[in-house]
Chain A
Amino acid sequence: MAINWFKYSAPTTFYGLAGKMIPWFAFSSAILFVVGLYIGFVVAPADYQQGEFYRIIFIHVPASILSMFLYLVMAAYAALGLIFNTRLSAMMATAIAPTGALFAFISLWTGALWGKPMWGAWWVWDARLTSELILLFLYLGFIALHASIDDPRRADRASALLAIVGSVNVPIIYFSVKWWNTLHQGSTIKFSGTSMHVAMQQAMFIILAACWLYAIAVVLARVRSIILERERNTTWITELPEVRS
């Protein structure tokens, strides 16, 4: 017998499943953050050029990767919602947006803090920085557009279009350092491997995993509140033990 995947795309079943998964993701994220930050700030050696300043990379790169990847996931959910008319997909897209915006902001903020001592400027209008700023605006635009339409189903459709259109920006961010002359250096993590010392790599990948797990935990928690809010008039919600009490 085939597994019915659509069963878990129903808010009714997903609500409980998400509730059970959140503590696992949150707990493992916290552990990996502690381990990763310890390796990054205590174990990993100083850099030959940048000394201790380079350590901001352990926050900067995972945040940047997450900001781009979460946008693609959000756009994929938005597209699924448009195509299959599933309720949960659109809710997932709405739940991802604030976390994606947060990571885009952290990426820009840590980048500025890093740029001033190393490059000599907080901000430069080069292709990498500008396209990442556009990504932050796309997230904020998505959130604002969704909030400005009262009917949730219409809000889902309008903001889904924006999310899908904006996904064109993600490859531009990724390849910007290759296609144009930029002040931003090339990618350290490439498909062919990394140009980084082993302990530095470990710290970065562990924090990347921690950010992933954090993002999943937070998005699941947020999607649960969205489900509660949108389905508040249904019987299954009114029969939930936490709602009844």
Chain B
Amino acid sequence: MKPRQKRFVFIVVAVAALALVVGLVLNALDKNVSLYFTPTQVFNNEAPHGRSFRIGGLVEEASVKRQADGLTVHFVITDRHKSIPVVYKGILPDLFKEGKGVVAQGKVEVDGVMHADEVLAKHDENYMPPEAADALKKGETANASAVAAIPASAPAASAAK
């Protein structure tokens, strides 16, 4: 082998080995890299006990209630399998809405309610004008059978093909 071929092989092998090591490390750190736990994970005891962590999911429809002080908000975070009630006192982000993504940080107390000290809105990667969104919504309600549970229906849809 010429020296330059040797150097080429060396670089390729080194990068491959490095990628493998980084992959194993990140795999081992999996839970620590993720920003939040889903409600299902919390019910499976994967979330830490007695300290602050984040829960992410959707704000359950018709679950948002404001207290008389106008600042304290009660709502429920759900991943469509399990749900966790949250209490938060403070200003909510503009995108906070029922049925939309949310990430709340706080402690789950013995009563099973998360007392959050930070609530962030998580939006999706779809961008369209309001008219297009309305049209999509109308189309969805027209064949409502397919909307029931998006994560559960996805594998079934692909299996049907």
Contact = CB atoms under 8 A, between A and B. Distances in A.
A50 B95 contact: yes
A185 B11 contact: no
Contacts of A195: 125-127
A64 B132 CA distance: 27
Given A118-B93, A127-B34, A181-B38, A79 B128 contact: no
Interface stretch (B65-73, B106-114, B116-124, B145-153): B116-124
A197 B35 contact: no
Interface residues of B, number: 42
A218 interface: no
A83 B8 contact: yes
A45 B129 contact: yes
Contact of B126 (A45, A172, A181, A196): A196
Interface in B33-68: 33-38, 56
Interface in A122-167: 124-127, 164-165, 167
Given A47-B129, A120-B120, A180-B30, 9 more contacts: A45-B130, A48-B130, A49-B100, A82-B11, A127-B33, A168-B22, A181-B38, A181-B56, A182-B34
Interface of A: 45-50, 54, 57, 79, 82-85, 117-121, 124-127, 164-165, 167-168, 172, 179-183, 185-188, 195-197, 200
Interface of B: 4, 7-8, 11, 14-15, 18-19, 22, 26, 30, 33-38, 56, 92-96, 100, 103, 118-134
